[in-house]
Structure 1
């Protein structure tokens, strides 16, 4: 049975009952229909924080890893064991939903519901972010048109427009065509909404006042004499914040087994920081004894950014890090092509284990207990599963097989037991780098300790920007590495655990409102494209409104 069919046959509880399970008061619920709601209650007491479990993964492959499936199954298993549990996840973007990756609601009998709503327009957060972003863009161009009091250089405007769909044709555009009354002619471009700074700000803001303060700091461009211009100088931070007042509120839904789930914010991890909102995670921590959250793509991207960018704002470090691996993904990292993955191949598994081993090494540096979860696929042989467990045990990491896709919470019960035990262990979290170290030092630390690269190579433009950032004091901010998700390197074809490679930084993008500097490496794109046969080709709806083809 397909994921969407399982979801459509499942019975959901009214969202008010889900809220009651974790003590959310009726007046703090703003229902969007019967099965989803915005919530305004963000805490009980200042010090009532439960345990935090961060789920990450090996380097993603076309074979699929199922990180969300494991996250949901683990939380359901904790709930089934009598633990007061909540989940905090990111919102799906229409780009991958309509493209190649699909949605982000788990799979099989380990899903969040309502699956169709969450994967499509949900509560409108993505649209609010898109509108707010493009309103700022319109206000910038209007400022140019109406006399340009601030002296903005049209050639140095860094704020781009956004769209929540993969549309490669909009990466580079020219606007203002049509004569004097149609604006100032200049080059512009679109990013995908989930790569926008407003998305990052929404996910890092502590409250409405913090959201407004961060928006005021956004860099929109430079004057003719090279001075930075921010939103506060345009005087529109209040208007942009107003457009996001409802989007700032976390969204409450439920799993197939009725575990309360907050889904809020959705920055990509390869071009942004890849974590759901601080508000949603903090809310879950204050309402539940155990919060299970995840970070995008592999541990070299989402988890590193969770630990080095989100954790300082959140004020809570993980009690356990779970790394999701699959036999299929490791065999691909060991050289097997996708069409041959169903055949047992222990040598390829052995070779591909180098990828998982490097992820384990990367996460172990933070001083937090690490557990490996093997997400079982029906085609995995018993020999492969046992060999993978043996290899994990040989490097001293607890490991459990999870079959939540087929069995729901029952399939993740042993994983839950191991994670509960891990959460009781002593944890001495150590940041990867000092916040006051230089930008070059931060980048070199991430590149050498997480990726295990030998060196960093900067373009001429990047070197010039480094000097500028030092002069402006921006190099004290954390770094957000924009890199391919498929490899530890910046070359998506270098699978496994490559050695003796360099990371190439071509450009920096200051995100002053979000509070970090993005380092663009290799050929990573902030506006992806659709594949030759996009998922949209298989999505349909009948005369009764029943949707098919989502996954």
Structure 2
């Protein structure tokens, strides 16, 4: 049993040159654009060339509501991908890129863990291939061009009070949530209130992750609404004439990044919208390309199934014409105990009753995912302290819900520890039992869609929204946006909007604070409760412990 840190394990990895990983899935050297020896982008020419091939099976990994005990969703995604390859299947993994803000804030990094990791871990958690910088730059270009247009005479008659395009930076910085711009006199433009979101909440990120190619990306960028005139008519990005230059900045960022697992299996790591404030899925182009190259594609959606999986099904699958063949729901004994009321400090003591009490959260997720018509397997991500009785309690509970729970030891044992899970998932995917359908039809009204998610997924009694919010939704319907899906911005820690309400609460309501139209991405963002589209750093940010050691290696990312 290893007690090495994730970063030590990642450093000892025997990586293969990225061209060899590419060759294994049929990508020739001419179509791989290397960034160093261990990562590369895949050319659009290659992607276009494989689009007529049949699709492999799509497996979605999701989880219960996250707890400080940790669930290991990405670790399970990687472990399952390695497990499928180890039992002789041809499998690929697709995950999101990490955002700098959370890396230096709470998380410290996101590429799996133990012996189920994607490498190069440090680069993936830092600048990687520059995709997020490109998104920040494209977003900032549009911001600058809007204010510049107003400065040089405002030909479009933009109402300066109704510029809805905020700025972004890829860092958690609460000081920037609300700011006043253009102070300092005539030369600096017209003062106005604005604010920053984190880059992963940018509509540019959403457009990139949902676009099928560069021309589709430019169309989506052009469709983004940046401001309103005095007569309340929308001003689009294409009216500012920024869409062409933004697409140029995003030309390379649009191409999926190929990397590898510790066991040298291929993985696409591309795109990264937050799941609590954005749509939380890796790019459509990465997933659809992987489905042409592998028989099984394991992908994940952010946070718990109430956020990530719901958005994967209702937004990503709807937009891209995808349908999952099997869903893997990750849970840990420790998280069950925490949902059952045990404090983090006491998690190591055996407590079967608390495990049973906490299973209600898992049960609700199982039911929710099944409501999309897709079979569900629970993966118990094994921790060394889990007792046999605690594991059995979870398995018995899951069986009572008409599903099955399989213990997976990928964290400690790599693919050898996930082989059982891989075999069962492959069987289910091959059986073709899935009968996928999104939760609501396109034609349903916007407020009804919000209510459907709140009642069916969160098990809330009601949605609380004042007249201003309802009128705004109605106005968008009148303007032709009523067919769009909903992207809920909500806490990830609870089914409710109260992050402290664990388990499977009922009798709660969902307060809607604000709605934002993402006309380019093609969804309506609904901001619930206290959720922030610009996070802050915690009292002791991870950044305080991140440094270079004497060997010039990064320390503290995990």
Q: TM-score, normalised by structure 1?
A: 0.99
> What's 1:95 paired with?
101
Identify the match of residue 478 of structure 1 among 463, 481, 485. 485
Shift of the alpha carbon at 1:102? Answer: 2.4
Matched residues in 1 for 2:442 and 2:127: separation? Answer: 37
Conserved? CA contact 1:398–1:418, under 8 Å? no
Identify the match of residue 50 of structure 2 among 36, 44, 52. 44
Matched residues in 2 for 1:312 and 1:242: separation? Answer: 27
- Equivalent runs, 1:190-209 vs 2, <5 Å: 190-209=196-215
> What's 2:335 paired with?
329
> What's 1:302 paired with?
308
What is the SS of the residue equivalent to 2:457?
Answer: helix
Matched residues in 1 for 2:5 and 2:467: separation? Answer: 50
> What's 1:7 paired with?
10
Matched residues in 2 for 1:72 and 1:175: separation? Answer: 44
What is the SS of the residue equivalent to 1:476?
Answer: coil
Identify the match of residue 234 of structure 1 among 227, 234, 240. 240
Choose 37-46 or 333-342, whichever is displaced more: 37-46
Matched residues in 1 for 2:444 and 2:467: separation? Answer: 22
Identify the match of residue 34 of structure 2 among 31, 40, 55. 31
Matched residues in 2 for 1:195 and 1:483: separation? Answer: 13
Conserved? CA contact 2:51–2:289, under 8 Å? no
Conserved? CA contact 1:330–1:353, under 8 Å? yes
Shift of the alpha carbon at 1:81? Answer: 1.0
Shift of the alpha carbon at 1:374? Answer: 0.5
Conserved? CA contact 2:57–2:291, under 8 Å? yes
- Equivalent runs, 1:256-335 vs 2, <5 Å: 256-335=262-341
Conserved? CA contact 2:118–2:261, under 8 Å? yes
Deviations 1:13-33 (A, max 9, x none): 000000011111211100000
Conserved? CA contact 2:394–2:405, under 8 Å? no
Identify the match of residue 111 of structure 2 among 78, 96, 105. 105
Identify the match of residue 24 of structure 2 among 9, 21, 25. 21
Identify the match of residue 530 of structure 1 among 516, 519, 537. 537
Deviations 1:482-503 (A, max 9, x none): 1100000111111100011111
Identify the match of residue 342 of structure 1 among 339, 348, 361. 348
Shift of the alpha carbon at 1:332? Answer: 1.0
Matched residues in 2 for 1:176 and 1:518: separation? Answer: 28
What is the SS of the residue equivalent to 1:424?
Answer: helix
Shift of the alpha carbon at 1:45? Answer: 4.4
Matched residues in 2 for 1:92 and 1:433: separation? Answer: 30
Shift of the alpha carbon at 1:474? Answer: 1.5
> What's 2:151 paired with?
145
Shift of the alpha carbon at 1:44? Answer: 2.0
Unaligned runs of 5+ in 1: none
Deviations 1:322-348 (A, max 9, x none): 000011111111111111111111111
Where does structure 1 differ by over 3 angstroms across 4 or more consecutive aligned residues? none
Conserved? CA contact 2:224–2:236, under 8 Å? yes
Shift of the alpha carbon at 1:543? Answer: 4.4
What is the SS of the residue equivalent to 1:358?
Answer: helix
Matched residues in 2 for 1:548 and 1:386: separation? Answer: 38
Matched residues in 1 for 2:318 and 2:228: separation? Answer: 30
Structure 1 pair 218–88 and aligned structure 2 pair: CA distance change class (3 A) = same
Q: TM-score, normalised by structure 2?
A: 0.98
Conserved? CA contact 1:461–1:506, under 8 Å? no
Conserved? CA contact 1:152–1:223, under 8 Å? yes
Matched residues in 1 for 2:5 and 2:126: separation? Answer: 18
What is the SS of the residue equivalent to 1:433?
Answer: coil
What is the SS of the residue equivalent to 2:487?
Answer: strand
- Equivalent runs, 1:434-473 vs 2, <5 Å: 434-473=441-480
Conserved? CA contact 1:160–1:190, under 8 Å? yes
Conserved? CA contact 1:504–1:521, under 8 Å? yes
What is the SS of the residue equivalent to 1:252?
Answer: strand
Conserved? CA contact 2:381–2:408, under 8 Å? yes
What is the RMSD of the two structures over their aligned residues, measured on CA atoms?
0.9
What is the SS of the residue equivalent to 1:53?
Answer: strand
Choose 39-48 or 158-167, whichever is displaced more: 39-48
Matched residues in 1 for 2:364 and 2:549: separation? Answer: 47
- Equivalent runs, 1:117-132 vs 2, <5 Å: 117-132=123-138
Q: Is 1:517 the equivalent of 2:524?
A: yes
Unaligned runs of 5+ in 2: none
Identify the match of residue 501 of structure 2 among 494, 505, 528. 494
> What's 2:358 paired with?
352
Deviations 1:136-180 (A, max 9, x none): 000000011110111111111111110111000000011101111
Shift of the alpha carbon at 1:451? Answer: 0.9
> What's 1:420 paired with?
426
* Residues matched between the structures, number: 551
Matched residues in 1 for 2:422 and 2:513: separation? Answer: 43
Q: Is 1:73 the equivalent of 2:79?
A: yes
Conserved? CA contact 1:55–1:323, under 8 Å? yes
Q: Is 1:433 the equivalent of 2:440?
A: yes
Shift of the alpha carbon at 1:443? Answer: 1.1
Conserved? CA contact 2:316–2:322, under 8 Å? no
Matched residues in 2 for 1:102 and 1:353: separation? Answer: 28
What is the SS of the residue equivalent to 2:414?
Answer: helix
Deviations 1:371-407 (A, max 9, x none): 0000111221121111111111121102101111100
Matched residues in 1 for 2:321 and 2:462: separation? Answer: 32
Shift of the alpha carbon at 1:470? Answer: 2.2
Shift of the alpha carbon at 1:530? Answer: 0.5
Deviations 1:19-78 (A, max 9, x none): 011111211100000000011122524142100000000000111110000000000010
Matched residues in 2 for 1:65 and 1:5: separation? Answer: 21
Q: Is 1:164 the equivalent of 2:160?
A: no
